[in-house]
Structure 1
Protein backbone atom coordinates (compact mmCIF):
# COMPACT_ATOMS: atom_id res chain seq x y z
CA UNK A 1 0.00 0.00 0.00
CA UNK A 2 1.32 3.46 -0.96
CA UNK A 3 1.74 6.27 1.52
CA UNK A 4 0.03 9.64 1.09
CA UNK A 5 3.28 11.37 -0.02
CA UNK A 6 3.80 8.62 -2.61
CA UNK A 7 0.25 9.05 -3.91
CA UNK A 8 0.60 12.83 -4.05
CA UNK A 9 3.88 12.48 -5.97
CA UNK A 10 1.96 10.64 -8.70
CA UNK A 11 -0.60 13.43 -9.13
CA UNK A 12 0.42 15.67 -12.03
CA UNK A 13 1.37 19.07 -10.70
CA UNK A 14 0.72 21.39 -13.61
CA UNK A 15 -0.99 24.67 -14.20
CA UNK A 16 -0.86 27.34 -16.89
CA UNK A 17 -0.13 31.05 -17.28
CA UNK A 18 -3.23 33.29 -17.40
CA UNK A 19 -1.62 36.75 -17.17
CA UNK A 20 1.85 38.37 -17.48
CA UNK A 21 2.87 41.89 -16.48
CA UNK A 22 5.93 44.00 -15.69
CA UNK A 23 6.56 47.41 -14.15
CA UNK A 24 9.32 49.40 -15.87
CA UNK A 25 9.75 51.53 -12.74
CA UNK A 26 8.98 51.22 -9.05
CA UNK A 27 5.40 52.29 -8.29
CA UNK A 28 4.79 52.64 -12.04
CA UNK A 29 1.88 51.24 -14.01
CA UNK A 30 1.87 47.55 -14.91
CA UNK A 31 2.29 46.68 -18.57
CA UNK A 32 0.31 43.61 -19.62
CA UNK A 33 2.24 41.29 -21.96
CA UNK A 34 1.66 38.19 -24.09
CA UNK A 35 5.23 36.98 -23.45
CA UNK A 36 8.29 37.96 -21.43
CA UNK A 37 11.91 36.87 -21.16
CA UNK A 38 12.98 35.52 -17.76
CA UNK A 39 16.69 36.19 -17.25
CA UNK A 40 18.93 34.25 -14.86
CA UNK A 41 19.72 36.28 -11.75
CA UNK A 42 17.92 39.29 -13.25
CA UNK A 43 14.19 38.59 -13.28
CA UNK A 44 11.86 39.55 -16.12
CA UNK A 45 12.93 41.80 -19.00
CA UNK A 46 11.31 45.20 -18.59
CA UNK A 47 10.54 44.77 -14.88
CA UNK A 48 12.08 47.10 -12.31
CA UNK A 49 13.07 44.28 -9.91
CA UNK A 50 16.61 44.51 -8.61
CA UNK A 51 18.85 41.99 -10.38
CA UNK A 52 21.36 39.74 -8.68
CA UNK A 53 21.66 36.19 -7.38
CA UNK A 54 20.63 37.25 -3.86
CA UNK A 55 17.44 39.01 -4.92
CA UNK A 56 14.70 36.64 -3.77
CA UNK A 57 11.93 38.71 -5.40
CA UNK A 58 12.94 38.56 -9.06
CA UNK A 59 9.47 37.32 -10.06
CA UNK A 60 6.14 37.48 -8.21
CA UNK A 61 3.33 35.03 -8.93
CA UNK A 62 -0.29 34.87 -7.84
CA UNK A 63 -2.79 32.07 -8.13
CA UNK A 64 -5.54 33.00 -10.61
CA UNK A 65 -8.22 31.35 -8.49
CA UNK A 66 -7.32 33.59 -5.52
CA UNK A 67 -8.29 36.69 -7.50
CA UNK A 68 -11.92 35.55 -7.37
CA UNK A 69 -11.69 34.95 -3.61
CA UNK A 70 -10.23 38.41 -2.91
CA UNK A 71 -12.69 40.02 -5.34
CA UNK A 72 -15.61 38.37 -3.53
CA UNK A 73 -14.31 39.52 -0.14
CA UNK A 74 -14.06 43.10 -1.43
CA UNK A 75 -17.26 43.02 -3.53
CA UNK A 76 -15.33 44.31 -6.57
CA UNK A 77 -13.12 42.89 -9.29
CA UNK A 78 -9.35 42.70 -8.79
CA UNK A 79 -6.77 41.99 -11.47
CA UNK A 80 -3.18 40.76 -11.20
CA UNK A 81 -2.13 44.29 -12.25
CA UNK A 82 -4.02 45.75 -9.26
CA UNK A 83 -2.03 43.45 -7.00
CA UNK A 84 1.32 44.21 -8.71
CA UNK A 85 2.17 40.59 -9.52
CA UNK A 86 4.20 39.55 -12.56
CA UNK A 87 2.52 36.25 -13.42
CA UNK A 88 -0.91 34.81 -12.63
CA UNK A 89 -1.20 31.04 -12.93
CA UNK A 90 -4.24 28.76 -12.79
CA UNK A 91 -4.66 25.09 -12.01
CA UNK A 92 -1.84 24.64 -9.50
CA UNK A 93 -1.57 25.44 -5.81
CA UNK A 94 1.31 27.92 -5.62
CA UNK A 95 1.77 27.28 -1.90
CA UNK A 96 2.61 23.65 -2.73
CA UNK A 97 5.73 24.96 -4.47
CA UNK A 98 7.45 25.94 -1.21
CA UNK A 99 11.13 25.09 -1.55
CA UNK A 100 10.58 23.69 -5.07
CA UNK A 101 11.75 24.44 -8.57
CA UNK A 102 9.24 24.72 -11.38
CA UNK A 103 9.20 25.41 -15.10
CA UNK A 104 7.07 28.02 -16.77
CA UNK A 105 7.48 27.78 -20.52
CA UNK A 106 11.24 27.67 -21.15
CA UNK A 107 12.27 29.18 -17.81
CA UNK A 108 13.17 27.39 -14.58
CA UNK A 109 12.25 29.22 -11.37
CA UNK A 110 12.67 28.49 -7.68
CA UNK A 111 10.27 29.57 -4.94
CA UNK A 112 11.90 31.94 -2.46
CA UNK A 113 8.99 32.99 -0.24
CA UNK A 114 5.48 34.31 0.14
CA UNK A 115 4.09 37.61 -1.17
CA UNK A 116 2.49 39.16 1.87
CA UNK A 117 0.11 42.10 1.47
CA UNK A 118 1.57 45.48 2.41
CA UNK A 119 0.19 48.81 3.64
CA UNK A 120 0.72 50.35 0.19
CA UNK A 121 -1.83 47.90 -1.22
CA UNK A 122 -4.47 49.22 1.17
CA UNK A 123 -3.55 52.82 0.27
CA UNK A 124 -3.92 52.14 -3.47
CA UNK A 125 -6.98 49.86 -3.47
CA UNK A 126 -8.91 50.99 -0.42
CA UNK A 127 -9.99 49.74 2.98
CA UNK A 128 -10.27 45.99 3.45
CA UNK A 129 -7.75 45.08 0.74
CA UNK A 130 -5.03 44.10 3.20
CA UNK A 131 -7.33 41.66 5.03
CA UNK A 132 -8.81 40.28 1.81
CA UNK A 133 -5.34 39.46 0.48
CA UNK A 134 -4.02 37.72 3.60
CA UNK A 135 -3.15 34.19 2.55
CA UNK A 136 -3.86 34.99 -1.12
CA UNK A 137 -0.81 37.10 -2.03
CA UNK A 138 1.11 34.47 -3.97
CA UNK A 139 4.81 33.65 -4.00
CA UNK A 140 8.17 35.13 -4.89
CA UNK A 141 10.71 33.33 -7.05
CA UNK A 142 14.13 33.69 -8.62
CA UNK A 143 15.14 32.67 -12.13
CA UNK A 144 17.47 29.63 -12.21
CA UNK A 145 17.46 29.16 -16.01
CA UNK A 146 16.32 31.88 -18.39
CA UNK A 147 13.82 31.51 -21.18
CA UNK A 148 10.62 32.86 -22.70
CA UNK A 149 7.34 32.69 -20.77
CA UNK A 150 4.11 33.06 -22.77
CA UNK A 151 0.41 33.22 -21.98
CA UNK A 152 -1.03 29.69 -21.63
CA UNK A 153 2.44 28.14 -21.07
CA UNK A 154 2.41 25.18 -18.72
CA UNK A 155 3.64 25.47 -15.14
CA UNK A 156 5.30 22.17 -14.20
CA UNK A 157 6.87 21.20 -10.89
CA UNK A 158 10.37 19.77 -11.26
CA UNK A 159 11.09 16.43 -9.61
CA UNK A 160 12.53 16.83 -6.10
Structure 2
Protein backbone atom coordinates (compact mmCIF):
# COMPACT_ATOMS: atom_id res chain seq x y z
CA UNK A 1 0.00 0.00 0.00
CA UNK A 2 1.32 3.44 -0.89
CA UNK A 3 0.84 6.60 1.24
CA UNK A 4 0.51 10.07 -0.25
CA UNK A 5 2.82 12.60 1.38
CA UNK A 6 3.44 16.20 0.28
CA UNK A 7 3.91 15.64 -3.42
CA UNK A 8 5.33 12.12 -3.51
CA UNK A 9 4.10 8.65 -2.79
CA UNK A 10 6.02 6.58 -0.25
CA UNK A 11 5.89 3.07 0.93
CA UNK A 12 5.37 2.51 4.64
CA UNK A 13 9.11 1.90 5.18
CA UNK A 14 10.13 5.23 3.66
CA UNK A 15 7.30 7.32 5.13
CA UNK A 16 9.06 7.65 8.50
CA UNK A 17 12.32 8.59 6.79
CA UNK A 18 10.53 11.23 4.73
CA UNK A 19 8.78 12.61 7.82
CA UNK A 20 12.20 12.99 9.49
CA UNK A 21 13.51 14.94 6.47
CA UNK A 22 10.47 17.25 6.65
CA UNK A 23 11.00 17.75 10.41
CA UNK A 24 14.67 18.61 9.80
CA UNK A 25 13.63 21.13 7.10
CA UNK A 26 11.05 22.68 9.46
CA UNK A 27 13.73 22.96 12.18
CA UNK A 28 16.03 24.76 9.72
CA UNK A 29 13.27 27.20 8.76
CA UNK A 30 12.45 27.77 12.44
CA UNK A 31 16.12 28.46 13.25
CA UNK A 32 16.43 30.90 10.32
CA UNK A 33 13.20 32.57 11.42
CA UNK A 34 14.50 32.95 15.00
CA UNK A 35 17.80 34.38 13.75
CA UNK A 36 15.91 36.85 11.58
CA UNK A 37 13.70 37.76 14.53
CA UNK A 38 16.82 38.38 16.62
CA UNK A 39 18.27 40.59 13.88
CA UNK A 40 15.06 42.64 13.76
CA UNK A 41 15.11 43.08 17.54
CA UNK A 42 18.76 44.13 17.45
CA UNK A 43 18.12 46.66 14.70
CA UNK A 44 15.08 47.93 16.55
CA UNK A 45 17.20 48.51 19.66
CA UNK A 46 20.24 49.73 17.74
CA UNK A 47 19.53 53.22 16.47
CA UNK A 48 23.03 53.37 14.98
CA UNK A 49 21.84 52.18 11.59
CA UNK A 50 24.29 53.64 9.01
CA UNK A 51 21.50 54.45 6.55
CA UNK A 52 19.50 56.18 9.28
CA UNK A 53 22.59 58.09 10.36
CA UNK A 54 23.07 59.41 6.84
CA UNK A 55 19.41 60.39 6.53
CA UNK A 56 19.41 62.08 9.94
CA UNK A 57 22.56 64.02 8.96
CA UNK A 58 20.85 65.15 5.76
CA UNK A 59 17.81 66.30 7.75
CA UNK A 60 20.07 68.18 10.20
CA UNK A 61 21.85 69.85 7.27
CA UNK A 62 18.53 70.83 5.70
CA UNK A 63 17.43 72.25 9.05
CA UNK A 64 20.63 74.30 9.46
CA UNK A 65 20.40 75.60 5.89
CA UNK A 66 16.74 76.53 6.32
CA UNK A 67 17.39 78.29 9.62
CA UNK A 68 20.28 80.14 7.98
CA UNK A 69 18.01 81.32 5.16
CA UNK A 70 15.37 82.48 7.65
CA UNK A 71 17.94 84.29 9.80
CA UNK A 72 19.41 86.01 6.74
CA UNK A 73 15.96 87.13 5.52
CA UNK A 74 15.03 88.34 9.03
CA UNK A 75 18.27 90.33 9.25
CA UNK A 76 17.60 91.92 5.84
CA UNK A 77 14.08 92.88 6.95
CA UNK A 78 15.36 94.36 10.23
CA UNK A 79 17.87 96.48 8.30
CA UNK A 80 15.13 97.75 5.97
CA UNK A 81 12.86 98.66 8.91
CA UNK A 82 15.68 100.44 10.74
CA UNK A 83 16.81 102.24 7.58
CA UNK A 84 13.25 103.36 6.84
CA UNK A 85 12.80 104.55 10.41
CA UNK A 86 16.10 106.46 10.30
CA UNK A 87 15.17 108.03 6.94
CA UNK A 88 11.79 109.08 8.31
CA UNK A 89 13.37 110.66 11.39
CA UNK A 90 15.97 112.43 9.24
CA UNK A 91 13.21 113.85 7.03
CA UNK A 92 11.38 115.15 10.10
CA UNK A 93 14.62 116.65 11.45
CA UNK A 94 15.25 118.40 8.14
CA UNK A 95 11.71 119.83 8.12
CA UNK A 96 12.15 120.88 11.75
CA UNK A 97 15.48 122.59 11.02
CA UNK A 98 13.94 124.34 8.02
CA UNK A 99 11.03 125.56 10.15
CA UNK A 100 13.46 126.67 12.82
CA UNK A 101 15.32 128.81 10.26
CA UNK A 102 12.06 130.32 9.05
CA UNK A 103 11.04 131.22 12.61
CA UNK A 104 14.46 132.81 13.28
CA UNK A 105 14.19 134.78 10.05
CA UNK A 106 10.72 136.06 10.94
CA UNK A 107 11.94 137.02 14.43
CA UNK A 108 15.02 138.83 13.08
CA UNK A 109 13.13 140.73 10.42
CA UNK A 110 10.37 141.52 12.89
CA UNK A 111 8.01 141.79 9.97
CA UNK A 112 5.30 139.21 10.20
CA UNK A 113 1.56 139.03 10.01
CA UNK A 114 -1.25 136.58 10.66
CA UNK A 115 -0.60 134.81 7.35
CA UNK A 116 3.07 134.18 8.29
CA UNK A 117 2.13 132.99 11.77
CA UNK A 118 -0.63 130.73 10.43
CA UNK A 119 1.83 129.21 7.95
CA UNK A 120 4.45 128.60 10.69
CA UNK A 121 1.85 127.11 13.01
CA UNK A 122 0.54 124.79 10.24
CA UNK A 123 4.09 123.70 9.45
CA UNK A 124 4.71 122.91 13.14
CA UNK A 125 1.42 120.96 13.36
CA UNK A 126 2.30 119.02 10.21
CA UNK A 127 5.78 118.10 11.51
CA UNK A 128 4.35 117.13 14.91
CA UNK A 129 1.74 114.90 13.28
CA UNK A 130 4.37 113.29 11.10
CA UNK A 131 6.48 112.55 14.19
CA UNK A 132 3.55 111.23 16.24
CA UNK A 133 1.96 109.30 13.36
CA UNK A 134 4.74 108.09 11.11
CA UNK A 135 3.90 106.44 7.81
CA UNK A 136 2.82 102.93 8.59
CA UNK A 137 4.95 100.09 7.36
CA UNK A 138 3.91 96.49 7.76
CA UNK A 139 4.96 92.96 7.05
CA UNK A 140 3.32 90.91 4.35
CA UNK A 141 4.03 87.20 4.20
CA UNK A 142 4.59 85.83 0.72
CA UNK A 143 2.39 82.90 -0.19
CA UNK A 144 5.33 81.24 -1.97
CA UNK A 145 7.68 79.52 0.50
CA UNK A 146 11.35 80.32 0.12
CA UNK A 147 12.49 77.22 1.99
CA UNK A 148 12.51 73.96 0.08
CA UNK A 149 10.14 71.32 1.39
CA UNK A 150 11.55 67.88 2.13
CA UNK A 151 9.68 64.59 2.12
CA UNK A 152 10.81 61.19 3.32
CA UNK A 153 10.59 58.80 0.36
CA UNK A 154 10.52 55.02 0.70
CA UNK A 155 11.10 52.45 -2.03
CA UNK A 156 7.98 50.62 -0.81
CA UNK A 157 5.67 53.60 -1.08
CA UNK A 158 5.81 56.84 -2.99
CA UNK A 159 6.44 58.95 0.12
CA UNK A 160 5.69 58.82 3.81
CA UNK A 161 3.42 61.84 3.90
CA UNK A 162 0.82 60.36 6.22
CA UNK A 163 3.18 60.11 9.16
CA UNK A 164 5.77 62.79 8.39
CA UNK A 165 5.55 66.15 6.71
CA UNK A 166 8.42 68.58 6.64
CA UNK A 167 8.67 72.06 5.16
Same fold (TM over 0.5): no
Q: Counting strand residues as a fraction of each chain, which structure ranks higher?
A: 1
> When you count helix as a share of all residues, which structure comes out higher?
2
The TM-score normalised by the length of structure 1 is 0.19
Greater Rg over alpha carbons, structure:
2
